[in-house]
């Protein structure tokens, strides 16, 4: 757990600009896009995001996953589902469809996106900044799964995303067992639960690095 500056009663002591000085450097807006990230009541840059668990069963049960690394530490890498920040004018479902199209080239009909199957609140450190993200996670079973198209990647994504491909669920289990960091941590189990369809229950996931 990251240490925080505090007053005598344990409340966080925020800097005059509203940030937590122990977790957020003064130049944080140069390290993160301030159009996406805004300081919250914790003093952390925060945003709403939408992610997609994209699954297919042929030729084997597989999930579409991204491997990325930290700007500030290339050895700090992790595996996660496609998705990203929700724009101010969007709802989470629209954001999920847009992000999936931009990152993978997969364009979904509205009926192909199910959920949210989970909501995740997470705190994590990226590019020397501790951030807060509130995610809605959707399920997709794309009817069209041709070659992955990276044409929609932003310059930042091109710098920090290392690969995007379909993983076998057994391969994902083995990677986690070998020590690979996966977000959310419950993803291997969640993927197997969703392979047979969504039960209508929205899972709540809380994860803080």
Tell me if 10 is assigned to some domain. no
Tell me if 19 is assigned to some domain. no
CATH of the domain at 178: 3.90.79.10
Tell me if 114 is assigned to some domain. yes
- Calpha distance 126→59 (Å, rounded): 36
Q: pTM, whole model, 2 decimals? A: 0.85
Tell me the residue range of the domain where 186 lies. Answer: 33-208
For the stretch 168-199, pLDDT in tens is 999 999 999 999 999 999 999 999 999 989 99
* Range with lowest mean pLDDT among 45-49, 79-83, 159-163: 159-163
For the stretch 93-122, pLDDT in tens is 999 999 999 999 999 988 889 999 999 999
Domain count along the chain: 1
CB 66 within 8 A of CB 100: no
Q: Which residues contact 31 (CB under 8 A, 6 or more apart)?
A: 25, 71, 127, 128, 129
Tell me if 77 is assigned to some domain. yes
pLDDT over 70 percentage in the chain: 88
Tell me if 56 is assigned to some domain. yes
């Amino acid at each position: 757990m990251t240490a925080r500056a505090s007053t005598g009663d344990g409340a966080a002591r925020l800097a005059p600009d509203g940030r937590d000085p122990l977790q957020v450097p003064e130049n944080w807006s140069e390290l993160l896009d301030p159009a996406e990230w805004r300081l919250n009541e914790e003093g952390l840059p925060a945003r709403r995001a939408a992610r997609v668990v994209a699954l297919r069963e042929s030729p084997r049960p597989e999930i579409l996953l991204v491997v990325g690394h930290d700007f500030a530490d290339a050895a700090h890498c992790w595996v996660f589902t496609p998705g990203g920040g929700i724009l101010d004018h969007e709802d989470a479902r629209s954001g999920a469809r847009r992000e999936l199209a931009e990152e993978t080239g997969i364009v979904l009909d509205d009926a192909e996106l199910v959920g949210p199957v989970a909501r995740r609140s997470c705190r994590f450190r990226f590019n020397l900044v501790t951030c807060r993200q509130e995610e809605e996670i959707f399920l997709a079973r794309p009817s069209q799964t041709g070659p992955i198209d990276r044409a929609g990647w932003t310059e930042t994504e091109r710098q920090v995303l290392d690969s995007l491909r379909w993983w076998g669920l057994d391969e994902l289990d083995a990677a986690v067992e070998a020590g690979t960091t996966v977000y959310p941590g419950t993803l291997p189990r969640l993927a197997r639960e969703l392979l047979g369809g969504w039960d209508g229950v929205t899972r709540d996931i809380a994860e803080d690095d």
